[in-house]
């Protein structure tokens, strides 16, 4: 059965109040829509842990760097609701811009440290937009649990830090990245890749695996990194924003996996920015 679509905060609060009074657990899966199997795995994880589940769909203007990028972000609400029908969730919350940022809105949530590397540098203002909207969604849904994909690992760590620092009583769950058959991490942005570009995109996870294996084997990280960037360039990627090994907890840059580490990459193919990360076995 399809879940009710709630567009107003008043309706959302009316729905969640009895759940909260009954001491139920409420899981929230924040999304920007264009749902794929990666999102649906978060919904399944939420269903397994919580008695109530809310999926939010809001294309958050504050986390986009340019109006063009915001405008071309896929919007597929009807199809999204259809994909969610089989999960038996309790509500789909689809606020509009005025609901989230009414006139006079003047607050920004900013997390230092974790946001000063990788996408924090390449997408100025992005994590302020994410932290602000996620803090609002946590407050609005009064969720006890939240579910995020490890595909956006930096975002996951930023959200965890934000919730901890603001004493928001919520457990943030990180869920494994779901991949296409050729290894490409699922992302709503993959829809923007044309047929040929899509077939080239799997070079990114392939090269990342090679670099991660080299790092795990104790081979020189910078040689493996440089070789991978060369291959991506030959394949047709127009630029690589970063291909770096960093510690899981504080995202410190590493030359060797001396503590739990991941390899992070962001690269451009046919005008689409792809990001990914994988564990480096130490």
**Residues contributing to the site for ligand PAF (CB under 6 A):** 30-32, 60, 63, 130, 133-134, 152, 155
95 touches 105 (CB < 8 A): no
Q: Which of residues 42 and 243 has its CB atom nearest to ligand PAF in the complex?
A: 42
- The kind and range of the H/E element at 92 are strand 91-93
Tokens of 80: 């999204």
Among residues 10, 36, 39, 122, the one annotated as catalytic is 39
Q: At its nearest, how many Å lie between ligand PAF and the CB of residue 14?
A: 23
Q: Which of residues 193 and 224 has its CB atom nearest to ligand PAF in the complex?
A: 193
- In the DSSP assignment, the letter for residue 62 is G
Tokens 């679509």 belong to 5
Tokens 């990459």 belong to 265
Q: At its nearest, how many Å lie between ligand PAF and the CB of residue 81?
A: 17
Q: At its nearest, how many Å lie between ligand PAF and the CB of residue 217?
A: 33
Q: Which of residues 130 and 178 has its CB atom nearest to ligand PAF in the complex?
A: 130
Tokens of 119: 């996408």
Q: Is the dihedral of CA 9, 15, 20, 25 positive or negative?
A: negative
Q: Which of residues 175 and 203 has its CB atom nearest to ligand PAF in the complex?
A: 175
Per the annotation, the verdict on 173 as an active-site residue is no
Strand pairing class (5-6; 91-93): parallel
Q: At its nearest, how many Å lie between ligand PAF and the CB of residue 238?
A: 24
**Would you put residue 210 in left (φ > 0), alpha (ψ -120 to 50) or beta?**
alpha
Residues assigned a catalytic role: 39
């Amino acid at each position: 059965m399809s879940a009710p679509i709630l567009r107003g905060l008043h309706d959302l609060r009316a729905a969640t109040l009895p759940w909260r009074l009954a001491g139920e657990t409420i899981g929230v899966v924040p999304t920007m829509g264009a749902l794929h199997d990666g999102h649906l795995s978060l919904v399944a994880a939420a269903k397994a842990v919580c008695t109530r589940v809310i999926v939010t769909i809001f294309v958050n203007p504050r986390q986009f760097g340019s109006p063009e990028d915001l405008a071309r972000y896929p919007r597929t609400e009807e199809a999204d609701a259809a994909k969610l029908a089989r999960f038996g969730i309790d509500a789909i919350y689809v606020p509009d811009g005025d609901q989230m940022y009414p006139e006079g809105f003047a607050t920004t949530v900013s997390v230092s440290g974790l946001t000063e590397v990788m996408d924090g540098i390449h997408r100025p203002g992005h994590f302020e937009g994410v932290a602000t909207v996620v803090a609002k969604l946590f407050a609005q849904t009064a969720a006890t649990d939240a579910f995020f994909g490890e595909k956006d690992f930096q975002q996951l760590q930023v959200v965890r830090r934000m919730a901890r620092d603001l004493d928001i009583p919520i457990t943030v769950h990180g869920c494994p990245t779901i991949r296409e058959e050729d290894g490409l991490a699922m992302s709503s942005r993959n829809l923007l890749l044309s047929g040929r570009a899509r077939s080239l995109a799997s070079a990114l996870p392939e090269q990342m695996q090679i670099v991660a294996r080299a790092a795990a084997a104790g081979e020189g990280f910078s040689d493996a990194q440089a070789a991978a960037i060369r291959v991506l360039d030959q394949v047709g990627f127009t630029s690589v924003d970063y291909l770096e090994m960093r510690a899981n907890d504080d995202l410190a840059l590493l030359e060797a996996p001396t503590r739990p580490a991941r390899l992070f990459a962001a690269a451009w193919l046919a005008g689409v920015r792809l990001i990914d990360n994988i564990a480096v076995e130490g």
